[in-house]
Structure 1
Amino acid sequence: METDWLIKSFSSKCALCLILLVAPLQGYAAKCFVDSPSIVKGQIDFDAVKIRALTHAEKKSVQAILKKLNGEWQGSATGYFCFGKKQKWSTKPDNYTIKATAKGRSSRSVSLSAKLHSAEKKSYHMETLKLFLKGLQLYFDVPSSLGEISIISITPNNITFLQKYRNRVKSGGSIFREVVRSITVNESTLNIKHEVYTQGELSSESTWQLSKKL
């Protein structure tokens, strides 16, 4: 049901948007306005995310990932916003340096708080990413129906999942958005990729590349 979907500020969830001048990108394979994973036979699947229980092997992988996320991280975010139309588009850069701290409670949850600084904009903002493991269910942001996600893949070092939500607009309607997040972590490096889709098309992308502070 639409009322069960996560409704909150798009800007608070994406650095990455989210995720380098208004021109063809160099060193970054932009793919603006490609179809989202929810496009089925040319139509957007507006239904809520399809949740499922983790297997016991997947649960062990998630527990290991949550533990490895703990600590202090630093690095950069490289991303872009898409402008124009599918047939003719351009990009605007969205790049930052990052300092982040992740704190967990055992192997059941972790909260990563990141400060993203833009030298070009001479400003910074904060972002928080939270993961919760309850039994065989994984949640993002909040451990309730509002935090339900669709698991795409889980390996010992990676979690990739889909989130759907709507942003209300002043006219009284709403905009349908999806975010695909891929979190890859080992003992010393952390890579978080965000792909944001608006009304079924890629609208921004961002990749965080971080190293653990020793």
Structure 2
Amino acid sequence: MSKVELRTSTEVKAQCDQNVSLQCDIMSPSPLKIILFSWVRKGKQLCVVNATGVFSFPGVRCDNTNNTLTLNLTRVMPSSQGNYTCKLRSNLTITAANTTVTMQECLRTSEHKVFQNESQVECQLFGVYPEGTVHWFLGSENITESASTKSQLDEEGLFDIRSTLPTQAGTEPYNCSLWIPSSGTYSSHKQLHYSRGLSSGTKTRSRLLLFFILVGLIIII
């Protein structure tokens, strides 16, 4: 090795709510004096090593051992994605290296219910990443066009999705599926077992019809 280099991972894939460590190693052919060793994101210093010690800024933890500076991120979210730069200023050189943090798919919780009045079914999904939408199936039939779906982005970069669907008469289960367009895959499925018979109006008309039939029979007799 003829020059001083910084060694980092080019890309780190993270999962929601997990801790991630970004490591930066100084590779030098000869001893050097560190003037400033740091992790930086969007122009903001997160970890700093200088002549007076190691400094960690709010929301992160930093470790410095044997020319290695480790940036520890806690509970990473989509808002944590992006480029992180390790920088070194020494008596021998000034250099830098980048690491990109990317997020895998996230789904914190989901709720599924049938409304008491039996007029509609609903799927709610919280903490979704990347943004998705809900597809509805009745048996093998895709009935998504009949649904109303809303998506809201929170401050952590996650999406909360709510989808409601008017019910139809029948006994086949409804299937609520989370579709992620960016990956072209479904990441969650839930069957809502539901049976809807005659509506109250239909039942009333049936009772009246039966009543008149009975009255007619009595008159004939």
Q: How does the TM-score come out when normalised to structure 2? A: 0.24
Using CA pairs below 8 Å that are at least 6 residues apart, which structure has the higher relative contact order? 1
